[in-house]
Chains A and B, each alone.
Chain A
């Protein structure tokens, strides 16, 4: 049926060239997501390798030409949850409205209306702040804003409704912006705003 299968007729059980062509280009994305999920380079390496081997073994379940990246990331995420995350998802503070900071823009529009400070923070500090987000928030932010996946793709990979993706993203962005702002103030990248009374 698929042209790729004709090429691999001699060894019908191997994924071969088609796997190479469709899966290998996503190694960078898989490694980046693994780094953010584990916050640990050596664990991230193991996680990516486990993911690729599982993907290879399950390759016949993949429909060629569909979303290989989403399919691989789903395997990576399931592997992470089942084998790497020490405890099952504690019901994180995901639904507590009270912890939501206000939109940062209102707070800094006078000192840095263009948000120039974001790109003045060194990469490691940005990544640290991402890693400090609650896991549920971090995951959607990494997939959406760092890997460029669509809300629909993320919903599919995480088995959650698109509305949940959007509300988690909203909160993740706010928390991250607030953390980056605090860092920028502490390090003098932007001046602290004077406190207004009343």
Chain B
């Protein structure tokens, strides 16, 4: 465990870690740090709540059926025009 990262480095990579944007090596360093550092683990959990909430909120909206129909009709008209 010679090259473990400190809290500052873990903090700087936290969002990228949660978004799975780190290389496997960097992600592993963060994961190992969170496992042994309670304050950073708690902060990660807090940030995770925020990101999960945003993704969940977003998924509740979908394209209205009427709009979908309108678009398909417009596309068909466009196709017939050639």
A14: Cβ under 8 A from any B Cβ: yes
Look across to chain A and name the residue whose beta carbon is closest to the beta carbon of B61.
Answer: A32
Look across to chain A and name the residue whose beta carbon is closest to the beta carbon of B12.
Answer: A170
Cα distance A28–B78 in the bound complex, in angstroms: 21
CB of A169 within 8 A of CB of B15, answer yes
Given the interface contacts A31-B64, A52-B74, A113-B42, does A118 sit within 8 Å of B53 by beta carbon?
A: yes
CB of A105 within 8 A of CB of B43, answer yes
Look across to chain B and name the residue whose beta carbon is closest to the beta carbon of A30.
Answer: B63
Q: Is the interface of A mostly helix, strand, loop or mixed?
A: helix
Cα distance A32–B57 in the bound complex, in angstroms: 11
Given the interface contacts A27-B68, A105-B43, does A145 sit within 8 Å of B49 by beta carbon?
A: no
A127: Cβ under 8 A from any B Cβ: yes
CB of B64 within 8 A of CB of A14, answer no
The interface residues of chain B lying within 8 Å CB-to-CB of A166 are: 16
Cα distance A43–B60 in the bound complex, in angstroms: 20
Complex interface bits, B32-66 against A, C-beta within 8 A gives 1, otherwise 0: 00000000001101111111111111101111100
In this complex, how many residues of chain B approach chain A with their Cβ under 8 Å: the count is: 34
Measured between C-beta atoms, what is the minimum distance from A123 to chain B in Å? 5
A115: Cβ under 8 A from any B Cβ: yes
Measured between C-beta atoms, what is the minimum distance from B63 to chain A in Å? 4
CB of A150 within 8 A of CB of B60, answer no
In this complex, how many residues of chain A approach chain B with their Cβ under 8 Å: the count is: 46
B19: Cβ under 8 A from any A Cβ: yes
CB of B82 within 8 A of CB of A114, answer no
CB of B75 within 8 A of CB of A31, answer no
Cα distance A145–B18 in the bound complex, in angstroms: 11
The interface residues of chain B lying within 8 Å CB-to-CB of A150 are: 21
Instruction: Please tell me which one of the listed residues B54, B71, B79 contacts residue A145 in the complex, with CB atoms under 8 A apart.
Output: B54
The chain A residues found within 8 Å of chain B, CB to CB, are: 11, 13-16, 19, 27-28, 30-32, 35, 45, 48-49, 52-53, 56-57, 105, 108-109, 113-116, 118-119, 121, 123, 126-127, 141-142, 144-148, 150-151, 166, 169-170, 173, 177
